[in-house]
Structure 1
Amino acid sequence: MTLTVSSGDALIIVDVQNDFLPGGALAVPQGDRVIEPLNRAAALFEAKGLPVFATRDWHPENHCSFKPQGGPWPPHCVAGTRGAEFAPSLRLPAATVVISKATTAERDAYSGFQGTELGNELKRRGVKRVVVGGLATDYCVLNTVKDALAQGLQVLLLTDAIRAVDVKPGDGGAAQAEMERRGAVPITVADLA
């Protein structure tokens, strides 16, 4: 299957940040494996002059999702820290639009659309279809894909460029199945042209 990306397509890279990579504060198992396929996808979109978006958690130090505040997660991706930076080996095109989410202490956001300008930015550029990959399958990728579909966008899910937290074994597989059931089309980076 070859899918030619063209006008009306955008790439969304979800939360490929140091704290989600091996050794990070909230490491996703094999999270670093998403970088190479995402670099290939980003290079293709850049070569075709198509938009690339990169979402990131950009939390205050007292964010509600952190265990000290009663949340489920260890502190991670605190704005301005090394842990919140994009992975050094992630090659984002110069024109990449960075979308910061969960930036206030009292509100969490797993989706790149929640409380951000992502939806408006996609509309402004006439985007009809998004290619999505990143971290983590069972949280921020899942919720970003659900919101993209809810906004009427077609979604191509890069199955070789996602990895799951799997708090409960099988969470990642269940999340991928849910995305496909809702209409996301599973592809690999090799399918893109």
Structure 2
Amino acid sequence: MTPMDTKATTTALLVIDIQNDFIPGGQLAVPGGDEIVPLVNRLGRSFLNVVCAQDWHPAGHASFASSHEGKHPFDLIQLPYGEQKLWPEHCVQDTQGAALHPDLDLPHAQLIIRKGCNPAIDSYSAFMEADRLTQTGLTGYFKERGIDTVYMVGLALDFCVMYSALDARMVGFNAIVVLDACRGIDIDGSMDAAMRRMQEAGVRLIQSNDITSG
């Protein structure tokens, strides 16, 4: 089945965080992050419904190591909502680093959902912030549109893609991650952990050719 064959109107492609700061040369580069852009563009043409997620942090965000004296990127700290990994400053609102990759070509995308906008709360997932209480609005958008199946691509597989997939399942969507249209950071075994967590949650893990030939 391809998205255009059946149930096309109830299927969406969620393109996660393909932004300059996550591309090689950016502030929080995902190895090979630029390699997926042509494939994502091709996949996008197979979907009637396309949504882009965009990290959109205010300066001085709580997830930045520079916001905590004596802390370094990838340190772990406790914030009011729980454990937080600290990151280099990245995807600061209205900077070139936060912009979508210039070669991303999805002119029919209907929505850009911005996340991580609250200065005190991180948001890996496109559906829910890290406090596990604050919704981004994406769940309601998809449900109002009659979407029941969400295919996910983008960066980084072991963080924002994984958390988006887990939350998609939690709120009742069929969640499918297209592995060759993602790239990961892989910190301290995070890729293996992500694959396991997604499989345990019932997320389907596929390759792009499964969409067009399966």
**Considering the TM-score relative to the shorter chain, is it more than 0.5?**
yes
Residue-by-residue CA offset, 1:86-119 (whole Å, 9 max, x unaligned) = 1111112234310000112111111001231110
Structure 1, unaligned stretches of length 5 or more? none
Q: Which of structure 1's runs of 4+ aligned residues deviate more than 3 A?
A: none
Counterparts of 1:21-40 in structure 2 under 5 Å?
A: 21-40=23-42
Q: 1:107 aligns with which of 94, 108, 121?
A: 121
Verify: 1:150 aligned to 2:164, yes or no. no
Verify: 1:163 aligned to 2:163, yes or no. no
Distance in 1, Cα, partners of 2:31 & 2:45: 25
Q: 1:118 aligns with which of 138, 145, 155?
A: 138
Distance in 2, Cα, partners of 1:38 & 1:177: 24
Do the aligned residues in 2 keep the contact of 1:112 with 1:140 (CA within 8 Å)?
yes
Structure 2, unaligned stretches of length 5 or more? 69-84, 129-134
Do the aligned residues in 1 keep the contact of 2:65 with 2:87 (CA within 8 Å)?
yes
Do the aligned residues in 2 keep the contact of 1:163 with 1:172 (CA within 8 Å)?
no
Distance in 2, Cα, partners of 1:7 & 1:192: 16
User: What does residue 19 of structure 2 align with?
Assistant: 17
> What TM-score results when the alignment is normalised by the length of structure 1?
0.92
User: What does residue 57 of structure 1 align with?
Assistant: 55
Verify: 1:68 aligned to 2:82, yes or no. no
Amino acid at match of 2:166: K
Amino acid at match of 1:97: L
Query: Larger C-alpha radius of gyration, 1 or 2?
Result: 2
Residue-by-residue CA offset, 1:47-79 (whole Å, 9 max, x unaligned) = xxx211100110001100111113611100001
Distance in 1, Cα, partners of 2:58 & 2:142: 26
Distance in 2, Cα, partners of 1:144 & 1:84: 19
Shift of 1:7: 2.2
Corresponding pairs, count: 186
Amino acid at match of 1:120: G
Distance in 1, Cα, partners of 2:197 & 2:45: 29
Distance in 2, Cα, partners of 1:105 & 1:84: 15
Distance in 2, Cα, partners of 1:31 & 1:124: 32
User: What does residue 153 of structure 2 align with?
Assistant: 133
Verify: 1:86 aligned to 2:100, yes or no. yes
Calculate percent identity across the aligned residue pairs: 40
Shift of 1:176: 1.8
